[in-house]
């Protein structure tokens, strides 16, 4: 079968191999694909492997030969999964590949806020320490996390993994989730959302983006948070009303925020978080360690292998 990878660059910019796919069919790889080239580039391929490229109902109508869509991501909102289902095309995704990487990055963002490590490293290299009259200096408040409370909105695999790290540092753990599990209860305490907001020194977002969670952090929810609290978001940008968050940072209601995701990516120049006080922004890289991306590709190859063997797995559209 012919296989086409439409936008492989972010998953594999050249430090990994597509060999697994090459063993399964005639492979063509594009680093990027403009929207107006998608139909042309799929052509007569039966297997389509997108990451962030949209596979709309119109694309599916234009290419009746598609037999399988295998996403290089967990989220699958870029594919019209229902239209694919109506045509008998399974859509698969990559679950749970980046749990530990995103958990690690979540805590890394929090630690950067607490120590402003990058800033002080640059200050030392600029000569400020050698010119200092005292044996040490710091330019921002330094925060000890032991004894503080971290609240997790969404408590699935990633939330629980991050919570275990936070608990190991001596933090108390609160969680708000659609579902409650025994494993979750062993890690922290489930509470209503308003209680979590009111009691947490740090609020971390790990829930999926749904109509119910879009804008879950807005002016009203921020008002319920502790003065001087910290917000961390490694989930989805649209969980946060960015203008409300920027306002809360600029007037000091929140002490700091760290986000790896924003409402529109790449970030727009007029995003209010770019000019907000104490807002740490990274370019959606929590998922991107080499080990994690290699695991993603391996799972994607296994998904396709199972489909070709007649026993598809990780199908998101039934």
What is the DSSP annotation of the chain?
Answer: -EEEESS-TTT-SSSS--HHHHTTSEEEE-S---GGGHHHHHTT-SEEE-SSS-B-HHHHHH-TT--EEE-SSS--TTB-HHHHHHTT--EE---STTHHHHHHHHHHHHHHHHH-HHHHHHHHHTTTTTT-SSS---SS-----TT-EEEEES-SHHHHHHHHHHHHTT-EEEEE-SS--HHHHHHSEE--HHHHHHH-SEEEE-----TTTTT-BSHHHHHTSPTTEEEEE-S-GGGB-HHHHHHHHHTTSEEEEEES--SSSSPPTT-GGGGSTTEEE--S-TT--HHHHHHHHHHHHHHHHHHHTT---SBS--
Catalytic residue check, 236: yes
Q: Quick check: is 265 catalytic?
A: yes
The one catalytic residue among 41, 157, 284, 295: 284
Residue in the block written with tokens 């559209």: 317
Backbone angles phi, psi at 51, to 5 degrees: -115, -75
Q: Which two tokens stand for residue 226?
A: 């502790």
Which of 236, 293, 295, 302 does the annotation list as catalytic?
A: 236
Out of 19, 82, 183, 265, which one is annotated catalytic?
A: 265
Contact 49, 31 (CB under 8 A): no
Q: Is 19 a catalytic residue?
A: no
Query: What's the CA gap between 237 and 36, in Å, rounded?
Result: 26
Residue carrying structure tokens 């694909």: 33
Q: Which among 53, 314, 73, 77 has a CA at the least distance from the CA of 210?
A: 77
Rounded Cα distance between 119 and 192, Å, is 37
Q: Which residues are catalytic?
A: 236, 265, 284
């Amino acid at each position: 079968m012919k296989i086409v990878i439409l936008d492989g660059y972010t998953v594999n910019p050249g430090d990994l191999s597509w060999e697994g796919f090459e063993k399964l069919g005639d492979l063509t790889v594009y680093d990027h694909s403009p929207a107006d080239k998608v139909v042309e580039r799929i052509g007569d391929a039966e297997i389509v492997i997108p990451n962030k490229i949209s596979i709309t109902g119109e694309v599916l109508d234009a290419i009746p030969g598609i037999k399988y869509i295998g996403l290089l991501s967990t989220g699958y909102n870029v594919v019209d999964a229902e239209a694919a289902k109506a045509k008998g095309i399974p859509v698969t995704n990559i679950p749970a590949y980046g749990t530990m990487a995103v958990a690690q990055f979540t805590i890394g963002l929090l630690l950067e806020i607490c120590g402003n490590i990058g800033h002080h490293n640059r200050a030392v290299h600029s000569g400020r320490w050698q010119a200092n009259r005292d044996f040490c200096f710091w330019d921002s408040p330094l925060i000890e996390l032991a004894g503080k409370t971290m609240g997790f909105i969404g408590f699935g695999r990633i939330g629980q993994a991050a919570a275990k790290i936070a608990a190991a540092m001596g933090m108390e753990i609160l969680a708000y989730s659609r579902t409650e599990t025994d494993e979750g209860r062993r890690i922290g305490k489930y509470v209503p959302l308003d209680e979590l907001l009111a009691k947490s020194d740090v609020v971390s977002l790990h829930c999926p983006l749904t109509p119910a969670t879009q804008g879950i952090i807005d002016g009203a929810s921020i008002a319920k948070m502790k003065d001087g609290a910290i917000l961390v978001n490694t989930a989805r940008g649209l969980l946060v009303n960015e203008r409300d968050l920027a306002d809360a940072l600029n007037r000091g209601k929140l002490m700091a925020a760290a986000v790896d995701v924003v409402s529109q990516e790449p970030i727009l120049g007029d995003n209010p978080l770019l000019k907000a006080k104490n807002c740490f922004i990274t370019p959606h890289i929590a998922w991107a360690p080499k080990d994690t991306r290699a695991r993603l590709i391996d799972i994607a190859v296994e998904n396709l292998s199972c489909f070709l063997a007649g026993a598809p797995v990780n199908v998101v559209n039934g």
